[in-house]
Structure 1
Amino acid sequence: MALFAGLLRFVRLGTPHDIIFDETYYVKDAWTMLMTGEARNWPEKVGAAHTPIDQLFASGQTHLWLSSAEYVVHPPIGKWCIALGLRLFGGASNPFAWRAATALAGTIAVLLLCRVAFQLFHNLPIALMAGFLMSIDGLGITMSRTSLLDNFIMLFVLAAFSCLLSHRDWALHRLQEAYKHDSHTGNFTVVETTRVFGGRRQQTKLLLNARGPFIACSWWRLAAAILLGLATATKWSGAYFFAIFAVTSVLWDSYARHQVGYRSWFTSAILIDGLPAAAYMLPAWVITYLASWAGWFIHPDSYMHNWAASHRGEGVTWLPDSLRSFAEYHKEMWLFHTTLDTPHPYMSNPLTWPLQIRPTSFYWEELANNTGLCKLAPHATCVAAITSLGNPILWWLACICFITGLVICVFSQHGDWRFLAVTVGLLAGWLPWTQYLHRTTFTFYSIVILPWMILAICYVAEWLRKNLTKSNYRITCRITLVVIGLVSAFFYPIWTAVPVPYDFWLAHMWLPSWL
């Protein structure tokens, strides 16, 4: 699945040979960071002809940056990833190199999603289905073929989620082994539980009067904290994933204690699991974030590096000058992000992201009609487009599956921790944006929730596997995958700038808001 995804992402990656959409910020920032250690300003236009800098950059004139440091509004890790691609694949004059890092991130994410799906459902066909859906989704493809930051956030948080699932498996195994030993004491309490939903309303269970082993610390959980620090060091929205994933992981530990048969699981969630986990996860996350700014601290001409020296008595006065400047810089970034309300033709309300109501047009150009698929209609207008639109059938089906999964979980006899696992990514990547409905936002931000949209489909598929006959289950899955696959094949040209007749492009605009 990862190799298949790689083909869809790397073939023709250097097309178009233009800086598209917000590549104008991140590619040039990454290049100057690679050349000078810090992002530098660029002139908007150059020469007597007032040629746009993006046009000159794309033509190979990549040396025209200014000496002054640029005011950047996102942390540096994502741009350093882009810079690594520039270093490895031919420099700034090669569009393939601009996008190589995001394409690689999108390909690795498919492999990670297969692993996460297998960790959750322990079924190889469902894991492969998750990878297939991730491979062919339009948002996953366009974001992997465009040098923006959001693909790196998606990769880091998905990797962190996989680590937390591995921690859960490790912790559950330790609890089960410890329970076999501790249960010899015979110190049990009989507990009767009543459930409002489901067929059985009352259940009797023996709970051991002990708290069990210490499971708060593991290398998996430390790795997750570092990965979430890298996500936050790419864009601040990664902080929401850290908060929600950390709390969820502690709840998993506590529920595992209860599931195995230990008593006082809620107290354990706070005292035994929660506080020790916070004691090392939070510092690891903060240190990772601060380390990403090493270049800013090292270079004396970085943006606002000397702010404290020229503003005595201002800012956070008890901090050393370098940290005081750093804090003031972050204050400016915060004000930018929370007050950005400049109208944009492709801005979209965050509430509509899961339905892909308003996609972002990354690229549009009219071409000669003797290229690509335009040869099939030589007298028609020929266009090339990159529309950051998810496979509509996949996303709409995922929304239905979230609702269906909630109903399944509520009416199941014991609930299902896996539905919480499916839901937390959506909560972390989408729900926080609802507090910024006034802000200028774009649908392509939703790439961070794509893995969990697919996991919602997998969750319902797993339920169907256990509740339908084998033949009916296979027919249902095959029809679903074939339909989604055909829709992706239909949309692929307008995700990847393949020249097509204008009428063919227009046939993809199913909703007026997609235009």
Structure 2
Amino acid sequence: MTAPGDETHSTSLDLTEPERVDARSAAEIEEDLRSRLLRPGPTDRLWGWLGPLVVTAIAAVLRLVDLNHPTRLIFDETYYVKQAYSLLVLGYEGEWEGEGVNDRFKVGDFSDLSSDPDYVVHPQVGKWLIALGLRLFGADNGAGWRFSAAVAGAATVLVLARLTRRLTGSTLLGCAAGLLLAVDGLHFTGSRIGLLDVFLGFFVIAALAAVLVDREQTRRRLARAAAADLAERGDGRLTDPWGPRTGMRWWLVLAGVLLGLGGGVKWSAIYALAVFGILVVVWDLCARRAIGARLWFGGGVFRGGVPAFLSLVPVAALTYVAGWFSWFATPGGYLRQWAADQLAQNGTVPRSWLPNALNSLWEYHLRAWDFHNGLDSEHNYEAHPAGWILQVRPTSFYWESPVEGDCGSDRCIQAITSLGNPVVWWLGALALLVVLWMAVVRRDWRGWVALAGYAAVYLPWFAYAHRTIFTFYAIALAPYVALTLVLAIAWLGGLLPPLHGRARRPGELPAPEPAGDDALPADAAEDPDADAADADADAAGDDADEVGDADEAARTRRVGWTALAVVCLLAVAAFVYFWPVWTGETISYENWRSHMWLPSWI
């Protein structure tokens, strides 16, 4: 039986009594929960924007300079640029008829465009973005054809820098990732040509950035609501075993819009929708478990997963369909009247439950799907996705030989090879192994963010390795290569902040103070002076260990920052070296061959 006055020494709790086992305030509990759910973010708000904007400005200048060269349509610009012009004129993609169409197009003669619909297999959003440049600068020059791609490329650098800053807590690391992307040759050349992939890459990484913001906001709301509940009850248990509701998740809605726009550029954005959706649900499960929700799995699925699904998937689907607005608005588009024609001719139509316009769009998609899966014609620059991360077989966007000019040789050429910066991609392949270890073995969620990018825009291509595909599809992967490289260096170099501090779980009491003679070892109770001396010695030893650990951590960080600086300098040097074959400068054939380090690059 406990004597009066000894209650504070009791180490047992009778939870059947209405006794408060946690007397902390809501603010204290919220701080405790936040330490479990979130790590402190960067506080340099001004530099956090200025730094990424400076890197973005550098990327924009590099991408916009001499954008009119080459002065003719190159590579697949012959499809997308002309289709973009057709959208401006007809509202749908019309057929271009006659020989020498491209030669007349580049000088502003668009008379070859007919009103007959053309069968195209990519949606219209990316081509509408190209059309914006045509509207601003004209359709008879390279600046008009490529301006929107250059802007999207520079904007991707900004998003990556800010995303990396949010992920790592360091503006400098964010700027480093942005710089590595700015000087990557694959992304650079993809930003200076009227193709679709740079738009796809922008929308996907912007969606991932929105998902990261949602993660932080949702966890803040979860911590605040759980803290208020726990403080009111005082028994260390949440009222709702599923955990609190977190309200409307507008950043996920934005992510859904962005992924719908990405799908409106290329269908492959659907894989990002699936991967990011899984990421959101797993994060919600972990968060509800961390706050002590008893039925955390059910709460994660129904309180987190279902609202996340509704915020992402229907929004993305509606946005995607809206991207076909001009096809719906004009009667002359390819298969636009298919359902109505079937009804007029046969009296019936497959999927008659659908409105005619949507049914016609569905039929369009079925035929495009058959085309994508059946595309197996041989091409000189086709490349298996296994070689993309090492840039084994880059794509030649432009080749002109011979050309007039003084290049110091009898044979002058111009070439644009969509080759990734070897420093970024080859070191990025090694960094991928580090980040895999970081994510799988060390269970660091920041590594999973980078891996989610690979899973969203790279791994699905292995399912289509049987068809004709190219390395330039990896333009959308380039931001995650840069992110992975920075993450790996930062993790190995001790530049990342800890994930969270040790905090007590809701309802967990501080360790009880020992009572009576149990407070001291037997020999110390007999000789207080000896105990004091031992305690001083232990404290001195602990201080020495802490100082030694701090010195070691500081040395590791210095090595980490040095390694990151060296990698960035090497990447910039490689960018300068490969500039002639990334921009189509007039150089000698021998000079061009000296840049082709591997036989497979030719």
Q: State the TM-score, normalized to the length of structure 1.
A: 0.91
**Cα RMSD (Å):** 1.7
Q: Per-residue displacement from partner, 1:47-99 (whole Å, max 9, x unpaired)? A: xxxxx21111112212320120111100100000000111112x111210100
Mapped contact 1:187–1:209 kept (Cα < 8 A):
no
> Which of 361, 367, 370 is the matching residue for 2:405?
370
* Amino acid in structure 2 at the alignment position of 1:114: A
Structure 1 residue 382 corresponds to structure 2 residue 417: no
Shift of 1:186: 4.2
How far residue 208 of structure 1 moved from its aligned partner, in angstroms, is 9.2
Q: Output the CA distance in 2 between the equivalents of 1:265 and 1:386.
A: 54
Q: Does 1:456 align with 2:484?
A: yes
Are 1:179 and 1:261, in contact at CA under 8 Å, matched by a contact in 2? no
Structure 2 contact 438–447 (Cα < 8 Å) conserved = no
Number of the residue aligned with 2:383: 348
Does the 8 Å CA contact 2:395/2:472 hold for their aligned counterparts? Answer: yes
* Residues 172 and 61 of structure 1: CA distance in aligned 2, closer, same or farther (over 3 Å): same
The 1-side partners of 2:340 and 2:478 are apart by: 45
Question: Is this contact kept in 2: 1:74–1:235, CA < 8 A?
Answer: yes
2:93 counterpart of 1:39: yes
Determine whether 1:433 maps to 2:461: yes
**Which residue is 2:179 aligned to?**
132
Partner of 2:209: 162
Q: Is 2:226–2:291's contact at 8 Å kept on the other side of the alignment?
A: yes
Q: Quote how far apart the aligned CAs of 1:146 are.
A: 0.3
Aligned-pair distance for 1:351?
A: 1.8
Aligned counterpart, 2:113: 65
The CA deviation string for residues 447-495 of structure 1, in whole angstroms up to 9 with x for no partner, is 1111111111121122133265233223212221111221111111101
Whether the aligned pair in 1 keeps the contact of 2:285 and 2:296 (CA below 8 Å) is yes
Contact 1:62 1:93 survives alignment (8 Å): no
- The amino acid of 1:347's aligned partner reads E
- Residue pair 1:308, 1:321 contacting (<8 A) in 2 also: yes
Partner of 1:474: 561
CA–CA separation in structure 2 for the residues paired with 1:296 and 1:421: 36
Partner in structure 1 of residue 585 of structure 2:
498
Q: Given the superposition, is the C-alpha separation of residues 67 and 156 from structure 1 closer, same or farther in structure 2, using an over 3 Å criterion? A: same
Q: Is the 8 A contact 2:489 2:563 kept in 1?
A: no
Structure 1 counterpart of 2:290, one-letter code: Q
Q: Check the 8 A contact 1:315/1:328 in 2, yes or no.
A: no
8 Å contact from structure 1 (residues 168, 252) kept in 2: yes
Choose which of 321, 338, 356 in structure 2 pairs with 1:307: 338
Are 1:11 and 2:65 matched, yes or no?
Answer: yes
Identity across matched positions, percent: 40
Aligned partner of 1:101 in structure 2 is 148
Q: Determine whether 1:507 maps to 2:594.
A: yes
Which residue of 2 is the match for residue 264 of structure 1? 295
Partner in structure 1 of residue 36 of structure 2? none
Partners of 1:490 and 1:299 lie apart in 2 by 49
Distance in 2 between residues matched to 1:315 and 1:343, nearest whole Å = 35
Larger Rg belongs to = 2
Task: Determine the C-alpha separation between the residues in 1 that align with 2:211 and 2:328.
Answer: 32
Which whole-Å deviations, capped at 9, do the CAs of 1:119-153 have from their partners, x for residues lacking one?
Answer: 10010110110110010000111000000001101
Amino acid at match of 1:32: S
Written as runs of structure 1 = structure 2, the 5 A alignment for 1:395-406 is 395-406=425-436
Look up the equivalent residue of 1:10 and give its one-letter code. Answer: L
Unmatched tracts of structure 2, length 5 or more: 1-54, 495-552
Query: Kindly tell me: are residues 289 and 409 of structure 1, through their superposed partners in 2, closer, same or farther at Cα, counting changes over 3 Å?
Result: closer
Equivalent residues of 1:13, 1:96 under 8 A apart: yes
- Cα distance change of structure 1 residues 244 and 486 upon mapping to structure 2, 3 Å threshold: same
Q: Which residue of structure 2 lines up, in the alignment, with residue 75 of structure 1?
A: 123
Corresponding residue for residue 471 of structure 2: 443
- Asked if structure 2 preserves the Cα contact closer than 8 Å seen for 1:386 and 1:497, the reply is yes
> What residue is the counterpart of 1:424 in the other structure?
452
Could you tell me how far apart the structure 2 residues matched to 1:231 and 1:218 are? 20
Summarize the Cα distance change of 1:279–1:15 in structure 2 as closer, same or farther, 3 Å threshold. same
Alpha-carbon contact 1:426-1:452 (below 8 Å) kept: yes
For this pair of structures, how many residues does the alignment match?
A: 484
Q: Whole-Å Cα distance in 1 between the matches of residues 239 and 568 of structure 2? A: 46
Higher relative contact order (CA 8 A, sep 6+): 2
